[in-house]
Structure 1
Amino acid sequence: MPSLTKSLHFSSSALITSVSVCVLGFAISTDWAKIERPCAMEGSTLFNGSAAITLGLFDGILIRLSCPSFGASAGFEVIPTLREKGTTPLVLHILVVCLLALCLLFSAGSILISLYNIFSNPYETYMGPVGVYTCSSISACASLVILIIFVVNVSVTNIADDLITVIIPDIQIELGDKSMQMGVGYYLVIPYLVLTVFAIVLVYMYQHVAYTHRREQERPTEDAPKEIMMY
């Protein structure tokens, strides 16, 4: 049976990772960004309207104010709408979704390995601390890449233009400079990343304690005089 120290560290790691999965699950279900573009009728220089897109991972909503109609709104599915353009924003958005799925998969793997170590003593293989390090590290790195890719997609690419022109294809409008605000879903990836790293630290702390204890047990033999060692 594993020691009480090992059980506490691995159970804490499993609990922290479970919390991080819940956080990421909620992040996936909520809004990730809001992009607003001033707009005017084609040929006009008076930007007296706006088109605001609230963007989630799978669904979104476009609200138009005098662009050209008053108070018009339309819901849409993000990936099918972007697919009609078939450009870089679609590829980056699908990459974000895939990386999120990867995070959930490897977090689940980390939880299972941690639970296994609570009740068993596997060797230093993928079923021991190495497995937790590997799964949690992949999840942490993937979440960091998600933060970078998503903000690049909404700030650098023309994702807002693609969505607007597909949703209102029959209306010719001029679009001004965009402004954006990241949503709750995007910011929740940060605590997920922090919790995942903390789960790694907990297992590392156990290994450090175990190594120190093992060295202390070996030290009397190492420090014994050579005459005693001969007998």
Structure 2
Amino acid sequence: MPSKQKTLLFLSGFVASIGSFAVICACLGTTEWVSSEVAFKNGNSTGFVTVEYGLFKGTSVRIVTNGIEALPVHFQVADILKDNAKTIHVFVILFLVLGLLCSFVTSAITCLNSVSNPYLTFLGPIGVYTWASINAFLVLLVLSLCAANTEITGVPKLIAISLDEFNDEFNKSQQTYGYSFWLLLLSMFLNIATIIVIYIYHHARYSERREQERPLEKASQDVILF
């Protein structure tokens, strides 16, 4: 049976890793990723189109400067995006799903170590380091790809153009990122916290073993001298 210290530390790692799992689930299921206002001009009238979307669904509303607001249009993101923008978006979803899997594996390993002592090395701290690190890297990659798709590829403007029914001339757009986007930072920090907690145990365990080996080394030297 594991020691009390090991149980507490691995349980802390389990809480952090399962928290990362829950955060990624929430990010996958919510639509508050990106909100954008795309300015347009149509003859003598001007206005903007608000585009709000997540990984799967979104909403667009056309608002003229004088206050006339059209009915909101709901759309499927996958049906709107094309070419490079769609490819990047698919990778964002794929990396998030892989991150979800990594969080699950990390939580399983930490939970297993809190109640038993697995013999396989990869089911110990090394496994936690590996899966939590991969998860943190995938989350960072998702944040970078999503921001690049929004700012460089111009997904909000592409969506506004695709949904346009008034032959508007679209100009610049202004983006803000919703809580679904920023929550991924929390997931990354939780993975880092998991690694730190398990490292504390691993380092303490290594130091304890070194202390136990020193009397044996000293005794061997005494035998040799004798």
Report the TM-score, using the length of structure 1 for normalisation. Answer: 0.90
Match of 2:49 among 18, 30, 51: 51
Deviation at 1:20, TM superposition (A): 1.8
Distance 2:174 2:9 in 1: 45
Whether the 8 Å contact between 2:132 and 2:192 is mirrored in structure 1 is yes
Provide the secondary structure at the position in 1 that maps to 2:60: strand
Percent pairwise identity = 30
Aligned to 2:18: 18
Structure 1, residues 56-86: CA drift from partner, whole Å, max 9, x if none? 111110011128993112111111222xxx2
Residues 158/47 of structure 1: CA separation in 2 closer, same or farther (3 Å cut): farther
Gapped regions of structure 1 (runs ≥ 5): none
Whether the 8 Å contact between 1:40 and 1:67 is mirrored in structure 2 is no
Q: How does 1:11-160 map to 2 (within 5 A)?
A: 11-30=11-30, 31-41=32-42, 44=43, 48-66=46-64, 70-72=68-70, 73-82=72-81, 86-123=82-119, 125-160=121-156
Aligned to 2:162: 166
Count of matched residue positions in the alignment of Structure 1 and Structure 2: 224
Report the TM-score, using the length of structure 2 for normalisation. Answer: 0.91
Q: Which deviates further from its counterpart, 120-129 or 94-103?
A: 120-129
Provide the secondary structure at the position in 1 that maps to 2:122: coil
Gapped regions of structure 2 (runs ≥ 5): none
Residues 124/200 of structure 1: CA separation in 2 closer, same or farther (3 Å cut): farther
One-letter code aligned to 1:131 = G
Residues 226/130 of structure 1: CA separation in 2 closer, same or farther (3 Å cut): closer
Provide the secondary structure at the position in 2 that maps to 1:157: coil
Whether the 8 Å contact between 2:40 and 2:46 is mirrored in structure 1 is yes
Deviation at 1:165, TM superposition (A): 2.5
Aligned to 2:3: 3
Match of 2:209 among 191, 198, 214: 214
Residues 137/47 of structure 1: CA separation in 2 closer, same or farther (3 Å cut): farther
